[in-house]
Amino acid sequence: MTTPPALEVREVTVRYGDVLALDNVTVEIGRGVVCGLLGANGSGKSTLLKTIAELVTPQSGHVRIHGLPPAQARKNGLLGYVPQSEQVDWAFPVRVIDVVMMGRYGHMGLTRRPRKSDRDAVAEALERTGLTDLAHRQIGALSGGQRKRAFIARGIAQGATVFLLDEPFAGVDKPSERTIVRVLREMRDEGATLLVSTHDLAGVGELCDEAILLHRRVLAHGSPDRVLVPELMLRAFGLEEPA
Amino acid sequence: MTLIDWLTVPFTFEFMQRALLASVLAGAVCAVLSCWVTLIGWSLMGDAISHAVLPGVVLSYLLGLPFAVGALVFGVGSVALIGTVNRTSRVKEDAAIGIVFTAMFALGVVIISRISSDTDLRHILFGNPLGVSDVEILQIVVMTVVTLAVVAFTHRDLTLYAFDPAHAHVIGLRPRRLEALLLGLLAVTVVIALQVLGIIMVVAMLIIPGATAYLLTDRFERMMLIAVATSVAASVVGVYASFLLDVAPGGMIVLVQALLFAAAYLLAPRYGLLARRAGARRAAVLDTAEAAQGTASAERVQG
């Protein structure tokens, strides 16, 4: 019996009204892989991530996470999701440590009262993302990069094995970007699978083991040096110069 | 009359004791809900539920049922109807809310106009804590205890839903169920507070305490405590002042809440108007300092 891939997307089509967002997308990603998800604005990157998390329901096709239907995988705490910054209410009265603790809710009893194991997991996740000193700050008091790190810490505390990150490098300063790259690679080395949507084509080679080029359909999927070629870039980004 | 007499005499009357108890319970339980209502942006929803219960209250009166029964049926029914109209048409949510609650309220007005005129519309619309009966007190106590018990078990999930419903979904919780639970609790608290403040002002208790507390803290648990404290204080002061000044208690309670909000709006240490003005003047200096500190801490992270 072969082990199923960490992430399997099969013949997925998503429409928003008349707009075709994803057209028959099929992707398989193995365990312990960082996969970059590249494409122009409106190419369906966020939609693909949301479809995998079942935040968006596809018209056809299906998703498997470690061979499990997504609902089962979510219940088992396998899936972590780092949303785009625009989707978060940064003025909400929660501290960094509270946000990271939310990663533990699936492990807790019904009232979500944290136990020592939960507090330890949160402390470790904060440490790894370099946020220990900022743990008691309100979430909106952080810089853009620190905010991203807080949501990544939440996924680490959760112990997810498949991570979906929507533009984790958008609005992030260089030091935070280096920290994020280091943390993501550590997670990969521990066996996690990460699907990372990004505009930052320059950083793809450094971070990613493979890359997917999306333009509603999958234009290419392979090692970064085979995907990031001028001919494919032109098809994915049109006349836009790669950044 | 000594000062002690002056303070205690009003509450030697049984109707004053009942008014105080009803107002304090309603204030406390609404304040708890108001934290989520203001953070999610459901103020209009709270207003909608309170107006939509009117036909339920009137029908309860006609059928001789406890007012809470009809109010709950119409409160929960309206929420469901708003959700249905919103999901199954291209009408936006605020429009769906506006249509459903005004239609329900209109239905109540029409029924009232048809039945005997000795029904006191004023009490339904403006509340009358001084006229709360023992049976109504019992209803209020039971609903308050049930609501607070449910909140005690679910408050962390409700806060997660309010902050990040997508994450709730991704870790295998059911945000739609949490939403339904919160709306159900909202309907119950509207009914609890109805007797005290009346249909028109009930929403004050569901917005003002949470908004006041939001200006005073960055921590959700503290926000809840502050909201309850200010709301209970407003109920006590409002009922008391209404006795001394011989004015409407519901109106007095809301006025005290509004005064507390105004104080927080102006004077809150971090988010008050004056602090922000002062902060803006210092901004240039702070910016420079923070930039230096930011670089330092980033370097430490790397090191």
> What pLDDT is stored for residue A243 in this prediction?
45
Chain B 196-215, residues with CB within 8 Å of chain A CB atoms? 214
> What pLDDT is stored for residue B275 in this prediction?
87
> What pLDDT is stored for residue A3 in this prediction?
84
> What pLDDT is stored for residue B196 in this prediction?
86
> What pLDDT is stored for residue B293 in this prediction?
60
Residues 6+ apart with CB under 8 A from A229: none
> What pLDDT is stored for residue A171 in this prediction?
85
> What pLDDT is stored for residue A242 in this prediction?
45
> What pLDDT is stored for residue B87 in this prediction?
87
Q: Which residues of A touch B169 (CB under 8 A)?
A: 53-55, 74
For residues B49, B51, B52, B54, the Cα torsion angle rounded to the nearest 10 degrees is 130
Residue in chain B nearest A78 by alpha carbon = B171
Residues 6+ apart with CB under 8 A from B232: B24, B27, B28, B31
Q: Which residues of A touch B299 (CB under 8 A)?
A: 175
Sketch out chain A's domains with CATH numbers.
Answer: 1-78+161-242 (3.40.50.300), 89-159 (no CATH)
Q: What is the pLDDT of residues A206-222, one digit of tens each?
A: 899 999 999 999 999 99
**Beta carbons of B170 and A81 less than 8 Å apart:** yes
Q: What is the pLDDT of residues A38-68, one digit of tens each?
A: 988 889 999 999 999 999 999 999 999 999 9
Q: Whose CA is closest to B66, among B180, B151, B148, B143?
A: B143
Chain A 192-221, residues with CB within 8 Å of chain B CB atoms? none
pTM over 0.90: no
Q: Which residues of B touch A80 (CB under 8 A)?
A: 170
Tally of CB atoms within 10 A around B46? 25
Q: Is A224 helix (H, G, I), strand (E, B) or coil?
A: helix
- The residue ranking higher by pLDDT, B125 or A2, is B125
**Beta carbons of A74 and B162 less than 8 Å apart:** no
Distance CA(A53)–CA(A7), nearest Å, equals 11
**Beta carbons of A55 and B169 less than 8 Å apart:** yes
For residue A39, the 8-state DSSP code is: -
The closest CB to that of A74, out of B162, B170, B298, belongs to B170
| A110-114 long-range Cβ contacts below 8 angstroms, 24+ apart | A110/B153, A111/B152, A111/B153, A111/B154, A111/B156, A112/B156, A112/B157, A112/B160, A113/B156
**DSSP state string for chain B:** --HHHHHHGGGGSHHHHHHHHHHHHHHHHHHHHHHHHHHHT-HHHHHHHHHHTHHHHHHHHHHT--HHHHHHHHHHHHHHHHHHHHHHSS--HHHHHHHHHHHHHHHHHHHHHHS-TTS-HHHHHH--GGG--HHHHHHHHHHHHHHHHHHHHHHHHHHHHHH-HHHHHHTT--HHHHHHHHHHHHHHHHHHHHHHHHHHHHHHHHHHHHHHHHTT-S-HHHHHHHHHHHHHHHHHHHHHHHHHHT--HHHHHHHHHHHHHHHHHHH-TTTSHHHHHHHHHHHHHHHHHHHHHHHHHHHHHH-
Residue A95 has pLDDT above 90, yes or no: yes
Residue A139 has pLDDT above 70, yes or no: yes
> What pLDDT is stored for residue A49 in this prediction?
95
Helix and strand numbers (H, E) in chain A are 9, 9
> What pLDDT is stored for residue A188 in this prediction?
94
The tokens for B147 are: 């609501």
The number of angstroms, rounded, from the C-alpha of B229 to the middle of its chain's C-alpha atoms is 13
> What pLDDT is stored for residue A99 in this prediction?
96
> What pLDDT is stored for residue B154 in this prediction?
94
Assembly ipTM: 0.91
B291 interfacial to chain A (CB closer than 8 Å): no
The number of angstroms, rounded, from the C-alpha of A235 to the middle of its chain's C-alpha atoms is 24
**Beta carbons of A74 and B153 less than 8 Å apart:** no
Sketch out chain B's domains with CATH numbers.
Answer: 3-271 (1.10.3470.10)
> What pLDDT is stored for residue B118 in this prediction?
54
Nearest CA to CA, how far is A93 from chain B (Å)? 4
> What pLDDT is stored for residue A181 in this prediction?
93
Type of residue at A234: L
The tokens for B31 are: 């304040």
Distance CA(B136)–CA(B21), nearest Å, equals 11
Nearest CA to CA, how far is B66 from chain A (Å)? 33
- The residue ranking higher by pLDDT, A238 or B29, is B29
The closest CB to that of A55, out of B166, B300, B302, belongs to B166
Tally of CB atoms within 10 A around A34? 24
The closest CB to that of A92, out of B163, B167, B294, belongs to B163
- Pick out chain B residues at pLDDT < 70: 1, 116-121, 284-303
